[in-house]
A and B are shown apart, each in its own frame.
Chain A
Amino acid sequence: MTPKLIVFAILAFVSVVSAVWMISTRNPVRSALFLVVTFLTMAVFYLTLGAQFIAAVQVIVYAGAIMVLFLFVIMLLNLGAPQALREPGGLQRPAAILLGAVFLGALFLSPTLLSMTSKPLAPDDYPQTAAAATMQGPPSPTAANIGTVETIGYNLFSPSLPWLFPFEATSVLLLVAVVGAIIMAKRQV
Chain B
Amino acid sequence: MAGVPVSYYLVLSAILFTIGVIGVLIKRNPIVIFMCVELMLNAANLTFIALGRHFGQVNGQMYVIFALAVAAAEVAVGLGIIVAIFRTKETIDIDEINLLKM
Task: Tell me the A residues contacting B by CB distance below 8 Å.
Answer: 2, 4-5, 8, 12, 15-16, 19-20, 22-23, 28, 31-32, 35, 38-39, 42, 45-46, 48-51, 53-54, 57-58, 61-62, 65-66, 69-70, 73-74, 76-77, 79, 84-88, 92-93, 95-97, 99-101, 103-104, 107-108, 112-122, 138, 141, 146-147, 151-152, 155-156, 163, 166-167, 170, 173-174, 176-178, 180-185, 187
Contact = CB atoms under 8 A, between A and B. Distances in A.
Contacts of B54: 116, 118-119
Interface string B86-97: 110000110100
Contact of B77 (A42, A53, A79, A184): A184
A86 B93 CA distance: 9
Contact of A152 (B42, B58, B73): B58
B77 A35 contact: no
B83 A96 contact: no
Contacts of B36: 22-23
Interface string B29-65: 1011011101100100110011011111110011011
A99 B25 contact: yes
B68 A61 contact: yes
B6 A51 contact: no
Most buried by A among B4, B34, B95: B4
Interface of B: 1-12, 14-23, 25-29, 31-32, 34-36, 38-39, 42, 45-46, 49-50, 52-58, 61-62, 64-66, 68-77, 79-84, 86-87, 92-93, 95
B5 to A, nearest CB: 5
A104 B4 contact: no
Given A23-B19, A35-B35, A51-B49, A173 B27 contact: no
A170 B6 contact: no
A184 B1 CA distance: 53
Contact of A23 (B6, B26, B69, B92): B26
A141 B35 contact: no
A141 B10 CA distance: 22
